[in-house]
Amino acid sequence: MASRALPLSPAHGLSIAIAALILGSAAMVAARAESFALAPADWQAVRFTLLQASLSAAISSLLAIPVARALFRRRFAGRGVLIRLMAAPFVLPVVVAVMGLLTVFGRGGPVNAALAGLGLPEVSIFGLHGIVLANVFFNMPLATRMLLHGWQSIPSERFRLAQSLGLPPSAQFRHLEAPMLRAQVPGIFAVILLICLASFAIALMLGGGPKASTLELAIYQSLRFEFDLGRAALLAAVQFTLCAAITLAAAGLTLPQGFGAGLGRTMQIAVPTGWRRGADGLAIALAALFLFAPLLAVVIKGLPGMLALPNGVWPAVVRSVSVAALSAVLATAVALVLATGAARSKSRSIELAAMLPLAASALVLGTGLFLMVRPFVTPETVALPITVLVNATLTLPYLFRLLLPEARQVQTDYGRLTASLGLPRRTVLRFVTLPRLARPLGYGAGLAAALSMGDLGVIALFAGDGGATLPLFVQHLIGAYRLQQAAAVSLILVAVSFALFLGFDRLGSHYADA
């Protein structure tokens, strides 16, 4: 007798829906492409995209090495605060960071003023060097945090043994630190390369001309200004192929370090002094100056403009908060279902589906959805719902990775007990899973809200003049050279973003402690 088919679990159902969304969007843009022959301008966009992403990833990874090493070796007042603040650029809205970089490195900024005082020609922040500068600003702190974890993963007993054997610092680096770097840096480079390939907002605000056009910027221009759907679809297909190839390559780039197990204790180790101490201090000081000077510049420039905010800013705040909150709730709910489902399942299909959005970008998804809805409705009328959907989808991999280890631990500790008691899944979720996942759930929801709050991808593609969110509002002000008002609105954007992040994070902590 044939066995009855098992019902589809919610996690597997969501996995199929996510795969359909990502692959369906990619298929839609590929099918809409009228030709697979790239024009010379398209090849220029491909070359420039790869160039700026490669340079940004290489510089971010290399500059992070001395900074992470210095933070690992040195102890000073405020070290913990500085390390925590390294996460700020990741959740900082892109338009705010670009606003700060324009204030520091722009034509009237202190950098060009210093160059003029020395009789040197001024530098322009627009073009390749401006895009690379902004990408390094965002990604060097990420690389630093990842490398710092790599240094901390080296058992401290190995350093103590090397010191007891009288190995000089150069030999310790060769035998202990270099193997860690060989294992970590290629994977970090690939992750940052993937991020920089999809840096639409940076290219939009700092591109400076056709020669500095990325694939995503070319997609946006084809849809928004030229309305060339065939070219936009072709470029979106190329973008998806590049991101998918790098995602697959990055999965195998993190190599085992081979240090063996330590005792898991933090031990005070002797650190080099002399010129090495000065070099460490210089690396930390320059990194802090580079990261925090643009943010301070936005505050100084934006405070006077708070008294004369432009019309339309508060409706944009309401739209942005609504999109961010809905995106965070949707992404968190889906990530929770997928993480708990993956923890119970022996198959990796759920995990692969949850990570699939890494292969796409906001504009690839947006282009596919644009082509889907255009025959039925005007794209501007569904701008906010589609922005919520895309933002939730693109933040899903981060939340899933955050929840999966905790969900697996809950399944290991309580899975057999709850199964033997015959508890319904709803009861297990309420009394077992949610209390133990409350902290990462709150942190993940805050992260998703902050990332959605600062997004300038799909909304720039869909929104009309009356549907702008705060990041798009700031971009319009910068384009009109109303920089003081742009800085003032940027302050509001930063405050609301961090308020959402802290609110969700504290909500999770409160529920965990209840």
**Would you say residue 14 lies in a domain?**
yes
**Three-state secondary structure along 126-184?**
CCHHHHHHHHHHHHHHHHHHHHHHHHHHCCHHHHHHHHHCCCCHHHHHHHHHHHHHHHH
Q: What pLDDT does 60 receive? A: 92
**Would you say residue 435 lies in a domain?**
yes
State the CATH number of the domain containing residue 508. 1.10.3720.10
- Residue 34's domain spans which residues? 10-256+271-513
Residue type, 222: S
**Would you say residue 136 lies in a domain?**
yes
Residue type, 435: P
**Would you say residue 5 lies in a domain?**
no
**Would you say residue 391 lies in a domain?**
yes
Structure tokens at 466: 């009356």
With beta carbons less than 8 A apart as the criterion, state whether 107 and 318 touch.
Answer: no
**Segments in the chain below pLDDT 70:** 1-8, 33-36, 87-91, 153, 155-157, 162-163, 166, 169, 175, 208-210, 250-273, 415, 461, 463-467, 512-514
Q: Which long-range contacts (CB under 8 A, 24 or more apart) does 103-107 make?
A: 103/294, 103/297, 103/298, 103/301, 103/483, 103/487, 104/293, 104/294, 104/297, 105/130, 105/133
With beta carbons less than 8 A apart as the criterion, state whether 147 and 70 touch.
Answer: no
**Would you say residue 226 lies in a domain?**
yes
Tens digit of each residue's pLDDT (9 = 90 or more) over 77-107: 877 777 777 766 666 777 788 878 888 887 7
Rounded distance, CA 121 to CA 117, Å? 10
**Would you say residue 4 lies in a domain?**
no
Q: What pLDDT does 62 receive? A: 92
Q: What pLDDT does 294 receive? A: 85
Q: What pLDDT does 251 receive? A: 58
User: Cβ of 386: how many Cβ atoms within 10 Å?
Assistant: 21
User: Cβ of 248: how many Cβ atoms within 10 Å?
Assistant: 11
Q: What is the pTM assigned to this prediction? A: 0.73
**Would you say residue 453 lies in a domain?**
yes
Structure tokens at 238: 């190329």
Tens digit of each residue's pLDDT (9 = 90 or more) over 126-153: 888 888 998 998 888 888 877 887 777 6
Q: What pLDDT does 250 receive? A: 64
List Cβ neighbours of 165 (8 Å cut-off, separation of 6 or more): none
How far apart, in Å, are the Cα atoms of 445 and each of 336, 342, 450, 493? 11, 19, 9, 18
Where do we find the tokens 């708070």? 306
Give the total number of structural domains in the chain. 1
Q: What share of the chain is helix, strand, coil (3-state, %, to 5)?
A: 80, 0, 20
